[in-house]
Structure 1
Amino acid sequence: MIALDVEIEAEAWSAITGVEWLATRAAQAALAAARLGEDEDLEATLLLTDDASVRELNRQWRGQDKPTNVLSFPAEMASPPGEPRHLGDIALAYETVAREAEAEGKPLPNHMAHLVVHGLLHLLGHDHETDPEAERMERAEVLALEALGIPDPYREPSGRADLTRR
């Protein structure tokens, strides 16, 4: 089980109906796809912000002076005994995510959910630096998104399932 602390810094994210619910559901699906979290309490933070904030984080932590869709920061310290294990922090940039969704013909909620899954998988140790790693991570993403009713973003041209309906 995961507790996702969703912090909405950029008000534009509120345009997604049930954005906190959707983000939490995506995080839970990512854990299930990775086959983790059934026996331990986990937590993570999701910052829903804008391009300017993500650009600054990207510059500060990755040396890249540009916005990106998602950044993941795995926790560096173990949680105190008896406390949920903090996996780390994820940040999403609204303008970049919205621009990508529009360019790819995907509903914004679906693309956001995909990036929450992607970011959480990074916190769990997944990566895409090599082809085998990328294939493993993509399989986990597709499995998580399938559980949410979202088409495979790597194969489907539109990804048009509507996640705003509960």
Structure 2
Amino acid sequence: MLEITNETDFIFDYKLLNKIAAFLSSQEIELLLTHDEHIHLLNKEFLGKDKTTDVLSFPFDNMGISGISLPLGSIVINVDMARRISQDLGHLVDLEIALLLVHGILHLLGYDHERDKGEHRLKEEEVIDYFKLPKSLIIRNT
């Protein structure tokens, strides 16, 4: 289940996003939809990167506590960038947001395309095929 906060003026149909979240995890996931400026600040503060980005993932750790259901983590998606990319690639903004959500949830689940041997890409492609989403972020950036 997604707990969604939308700081933008863009109106979304959240059905697809909720289906993707439920497909990948039974845990609650916090999703923040925001702008270039806000994600830039988060990227600088938490990752030391002084630039905007498309998606950030912040996994939660259960801190060894059992019996308490904590969210899997938080995902921040840059709607401004999603709009630009979707226009450049000729698909709907909603589909770009869905793709960014897939990518972010996989990071929360421990996948890391910068360190693994292709597992993140393969899992992303599986979800993309299942939900008929645009080309993978990992494929686009290689």
Report the TM-score, using the length of structure 1 for normalisation. Answer: 0.74
Superposed structure 1 runs of 4+ greater than 3 Å apart: 76-83, 151-154
Aligned residues: 139
CA apart distance, 1:65: 1.5
* Residues 122-137 of structure 1: pairs in structure 2 closer than 5 A: 122-130=107-115, 132=117, 135-137=118-120
Tell me if the contact between 1:4 and 1:46 (Cα under 8 Å) persists in the aligned partners.
Answer: yes
Specify which of 38, 44, 58 is matched with residue 43 of structure 2. 58
Structure 1 unaligned blocks of 5 or more: 32-36, 158-166
Cross-structure match for 2:33: 48
Number of the residue aligned with 2:132: 149
Q: Larger relative CO (CA 8 A, sep 6+): 1 or 2?
A: 1
Partners of 1:76 and 1:82 lie apart in 2 by 14
Residue among 117, 121, 125 paired with 1:138: 121
The 5 A counterparts of 1:54-93 are 54-78=39-63, 81-93=66-78
Identity of aligned residues (%): 32
2:90 paired with 1:96: no
Q: Give the structure 2 partner of residue 105 of structure 1.
A: 90
Structure 2 Cα separation of the partners of residues 72 and 121 of structure 1: 9
By how many angstroms is 1:136 displaced?
1.1
- Shift of the 10–148 alpha-carbon distance from structure 1 to 2, 3 Å rule, reads same
- Normalising by structure 2, report the TM-score: 0.85
| Amino acid of the structure 1 residue aligned with 2:83 | A
Distance 1:129 1:8, change over 3 A: same
Structure 1 residue 6: deviation in Å?
A: 0.8
Distance 1:77-1:131 versus aligned 2 partners, 3 A rule:
closer
For 2:33, the aligned partner's letter is L
Closer/same/farther in 2, CA of residues 131 and 74 from structure 1, 3 Å limit = closer
Given that residues 55 and 100 in structure 2 are in contact (C-alpha distance below 8 angstroms), is that contact kept between their aligned partners in structure 1?
yes
What's the C-alpha RMSD, in Å, of the aligned pairs? 2.3
1:22 matched residue in structure 2: 16
